[in-house]
Amino acid sequence: MRTDELVPVAAGLFEGTGSAARLIGTRCASCGTHYFPKTLSCRNPQCLEKATQDVLLSREGTLYSYTVQHYQPPALFRMADWVPYAIGSVELPEGLRVMGMLTGCEPASLTIGMAVELTVETLYRDVQGREVQTYKFQPRTAQELAA
Ligand SMILES: [Zn+2]
């Protein structure tokens, strides 16, 4: 059974698809700290008011660090065609780092400090035939890979 329906791997992580995809985070209006995934309260011990609100985070960031996974991930993150894949920590302009799978190039082409952008891809089809999607980061341009 196959449908065109798309479902996120977990609720509240992101919205949109492709180049319109955005991560949903939290910004503390009191101290300006950003969080991802969303949080109910600011974790800054110096912050007294902790007035948090959901915000859409920047699509573009910098690859802070990464590793290549050579084992199959746990059930929540299963993939249709599993192959070793890279997972990275991406620094966003808001001053936070977000963990995510990396896509759009071979792991050997990744370099720390490269410009990356958010995208959304299908991990697998669930038992109802829906495409289960997650957010990933990919190199921003082909020039990034050639550099
Ligand atoms: Zn705060």
CATH assignment at residue 91: 2.40.50.840
In a domain, 138, yes or no: yes
Q: Model-level pTM?
A: 0.87
Q: How far is the CA of 37 from the centre of ligand 1 (A)?
A: 15
In a domain, 98, yes or no: yes
Count how many domains the chain has. Answer: 1
For residues 87, 111, 19, 98, the Cα torsion angle rounded to the nearest 10 degrees is 40
CB-based contacts of 110: which residues, under 8 Å, 6+ apart?
63, 66, 86, 88, 102, 139
Q: How far is the CA of 27 from the centre of ligand 1 (A)?
A: 8
Q: How far is the CA of 66 from the centre of ligand 1 (A)?
A: 28
Domain of 72? 6-146
Considering just the CA atoms, what is the radius of gyration of the chain in Å?
16
> Which among 112, 136, 62 has a CA at the least distance from the CA of 92?
62
How do residues 74-132 score in pLDDT, each as one tens digit?
766 677 778 888 999 999 999 999 999 999 989 999 999 999 999 999 888 888 999 99
Q: How far is the CA of 4 from the centre of ligand 1 (A)?
A: 41
In a domain, 1, yes or no: no
In a domain, 116, yes or no: yes
Q: How far is the CA of 34 from the centre of ligand 1 (A)?
A: 9
